[in-house]
């Protein structure tokens, strides 16, 4: 399957290079990012970060691989913090984590490929819900079709101090296991929400899993959401993810370290590179 996907990317992309999205808009002011403060930075053990987004007052959607350290071990809940609307050293809301649950079929140690991207979805339950009239959780929706316009709001190693938005990217290819996007991503963009923008407002249709290249053209790979959130929520209802006797060990947000360390992206093989 991996070889098929790589070949398909190589075949499809040359005719779609012209559809590459435009540049990123940095939302450095509170006014610019007011509608997007439910997107935040996930601090991971004080040494890395990903991007996540609220889908309910107490649940953050992100990529499953963000929950693991470099050895493949799951991070403890106390080693994760959610900084909603993080911007220039301050967040609209700071929350510690009660538990974090990846899709049960996600395998961090599996070889890179479409199946790994497809299950690269996780939910993080916050210790206390975010109830703030300026931080509105996003609804989710079904995957978009090829040719659809989408947007991405993300943090990355070279733009870690404020969220950036790209509202002109496109779904280049809709495959059963993943979405191939023209959206610009980098280390730290893992878990970023991919939005469809419609009359009912922005809705999350995928999360960014990795970045890739085909014939020198950069693309990003998104994990579609249909059915996957419900599976994780069912596990949570059964009590999965709680760690008995776990105690919080607060850590300080050190952005000088974060700027240097960047953040997570799964390490792909062959043409695939992860943000």
- pTM for this structure? 0.84
Q: What residue numbers bound the domain in which 84 lies?
A: 12-273
What is the tally of structural domains in the chain?
1
Q: Which residue has the tokens 């290819």?
A: 173
Are the CB atoms for 43 and 100 separated by under 8 Å? no
Q: Is residue 130 part of a domain?
A: yes
Q: Is residue 3 part of a domain?
A: no
Query: Which distant-in-sequence residues (6+ apart) come within 8 Å of 139 by Cβ?
Result: 55, 200, 201, 203, 204
- For residues 157-185, b (16+ Cβ closer than 10 Å) or e, as one string? bebbbbbbbbbbbbbbbbbebbbbbbbbb
Q: Is residue 4 part of a domain?
A: no
- The band of 275, judged by pLDDT with boundaries at 50, 70 and 90, is low
pLDDT digits (tens, 9 = 90+) for 51-77: 999 999 999 999 999 999 988 899 999
- The band of 14, judged by pLDDT with boundaries at 50, 70 and 90, is very low
Distance, CA of 15 to CA of 75 (rounded, Å): 41
Q: Is residue 1 part of a domain?
A: no
Q: Is residue 5 part of a domain?
A: no
- The band of 15, judged by pLDDT with boundaries at 50, 70 and 90, is very low
Q: Is residue 225 part of a domain?
A: yes
Distance, CA of 171 to CA of 183 (rounded, Å): 8
Residue 20: which CATH number? 2.40.10.10
Q: What are phi and psi of 24, to 5 degrees?
A: -90, 145
Q: Is residue 75 part of a domain?
A: yes
């Amino acid at each position: 399957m991996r070889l098929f996907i790589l070949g398909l990317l190589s075949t499809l992309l040359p005719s779609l290079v012209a559809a590459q999205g435009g540049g990123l808009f940095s939302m450095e002011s509170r006014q610019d990012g007011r509608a997007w403060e439910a997107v935040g930075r996930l601090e991971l053990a004080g040494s890395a970060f990903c991007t996540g987004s609220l889908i309910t007052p107490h649940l953050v959607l992100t990529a499953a691989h963000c929950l693991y350290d470099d050895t493949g071990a799951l991070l403890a809940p106390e080693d994760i913090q959610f900084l909603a609307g993080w911007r220039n050293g301050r967040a609209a809301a700071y929350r510690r984590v009660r538990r974090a649950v990846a899709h049960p079929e996600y395998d961090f140690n599996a070889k890179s490929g479409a199946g790994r991207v497809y299950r690269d979805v996780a939910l993080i339950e916050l210790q206390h819900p975010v109830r703030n009239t300026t931080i509105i959780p996003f609804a989710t929706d079904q995957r978009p079709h090829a040719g659809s316009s989408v947007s991405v709001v993300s943090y990355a190693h070279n733009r870690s101090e404020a969220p950036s938005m790209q509202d002109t990217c496109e779904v280049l290819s809709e495959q059963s296991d993943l979405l191939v996007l023209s959206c610009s991503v980098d280390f730290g963009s893992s878990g970023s929400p991919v939005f469809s923008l419609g009359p009912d407002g922005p809705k999350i249709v995928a999360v960014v899993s990795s970045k890739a290249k085909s014939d020198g053209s950069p693309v990003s790979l998104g994990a579609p959401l249909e059915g996957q959130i419900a599976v994780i929520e069912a596990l949570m209802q059964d009590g999965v993810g709680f760690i008995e006797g776990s105690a919080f060990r607060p850590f300080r947000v050190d952005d000088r370290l974060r700027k240097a360390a960047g953040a997570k992206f799964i390490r792909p093989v062959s043409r695939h590179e992860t943000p």
